Chain A
Amino acid sequence: AQSVSQHNHHVILSEAASLELGCNYSYGGTVNLFWYVQYPGQHLQLLLKYFSGDPLVKGIKGFEAEFIKSKFSFNLRKPSVQWSDTAEYFCAVNARTGTASKLTFGTGTRLQVTL
């Protein structure tokens, strides 16, 4: 069965620090990859997604992620975090088999940005 691992459970950074959140998955076939974000008191929303093409994808609010197929990874990055980036971040992988697909979420990373 496919699985998604987010190794950083809780990350604390100061404003302006750089961010990288790890995401690894186990599935050898075709995948679509996502990062979702949940700000305090708000619903989950899509941060960025990768379907095909350029493995470096850019999302909202200055976030980007790089798909490295050989490493089964889709790490999230931001050069300089802001206090407003405090949120929980979820990596998700959609594994496609024929006409079916299954979306699996990681356990999430709570990011706390201090002033």
Chain B
Amino acid sequence: DGGITQSPKYLFRKEGQNVTLSCEQNLNHDAMYWYRQDPGQGLRLIYYSQIVNDFQKGDIAEGYSVSREKKESFPLTVTSAQKNPTAFYLCASSIAGYRGTGELFFGEGSRLTVL
């Protein structure tokens, strides 16, 4: 079945450590996104990529980094510079550009807890 796979589902990290969250899709979508979900704040866009080897900052990119070396993959690194990293992270994909309608397909999410 086509879809988006995020791993790990749960992750614990000590303060000062970088962690990388994986996101893989087999939907052949051009665009991929990372969102952060916090209670009462909805989904906030961290980074997005419309095409391989290109990505843009979203609304809350500070303390995060991404890469897009393959169409299928869009890993997110939460760096030690992120001041409040404990959150639920969602990866999504969509058909990009003028052909796109904005409809997103989501993975199951990764819950990061900083100890």
Hey, which bits of chain A sit against chain B, CB under 8 A? 6, 9, 32, 34, 36, 42-46, 49, 51, 90, 92, 94, 96, 98-101, 103, 105-108
Interface contact B42-A43, CB-CB below 8 Å: no
- B residues near A32, Cβ cutoff 8 Å: 101-103
Q: Which of B41, B45, B92, B108 is the one whose CB lies under 8 Å from A42?
A: B108
Interface contact B109-A34, CB-CB below 8 Å: no
Closest 10 CB pairs of A and B: A94-B102, A107-B42, A99-B98, A44-B106, A105-B43, A43-B108, A105-B42, A103-B102, A32-B102, A32-B101
Q: Which of A43, A90, A99 is the one whose CB lies under 8 Å from B43?
A: A90
B residues 67-115 near A (Cβ < 8 Å) are 90, 92, 97-98, 100-104, 106-109
> Given A105-B43, A107-B40 in contact, is the A43-B109 Cβ separation under 8 Å?
yes
- B residues near A99, Cβ cutoff 8 Å: 97-98
- B residues near A49, Cβ cutoff 8 Å: 101, 103
Interface contact A45-B101, CB-CB below 8 Å: no
Most A CB within 10 A of own CB, among B40, B41, B43, B104: B43
- A residues near B42, Cβ cutoff 8 Å: 6, 90, 105-108
Known: A43-B106, A44-B90. 15 other contacts (CB 8 A): A6-B42, A32-B101, A32-B103, A36-B104, A49-B101, A51-B101, A92-B102, A94-B101, A94-B103, A98-B98, A103-B104, A105-B35, A105-B44, A106-B42, A108-B40
> What distance in Å separates the Cβ of A49 from its nearest Cβ neighbour in chain B?
6
- A residues near B98, Cβ cutoff 8 Å: 98-99
Q: Which residue of B has the minimal Cβ distance to A100?
A: B97
Q: Which of B45, B90, B100, B108 is the one whose CB lies under 8 Å from A101?
A: B100
The distance in angstroms between the C-alpha atoms of A45 and B107, with both chains bound, is 9
Ordered by A's residue number, 22 sampled pairs between the chains whose C-beta atoms are within 8 Å are: A9-B40, A32-B101, A36-B104, A42-B108, A43-B90, A43-B109, A44-B104, A45-B106, A92-B104, A94-B101, A98-B98, A99-B98, A100-B97, A101-B100, A103-B45, A105-B35, A105-B44, A106-B42, A107-B41, A107-B42, A108-B40, A108-B42
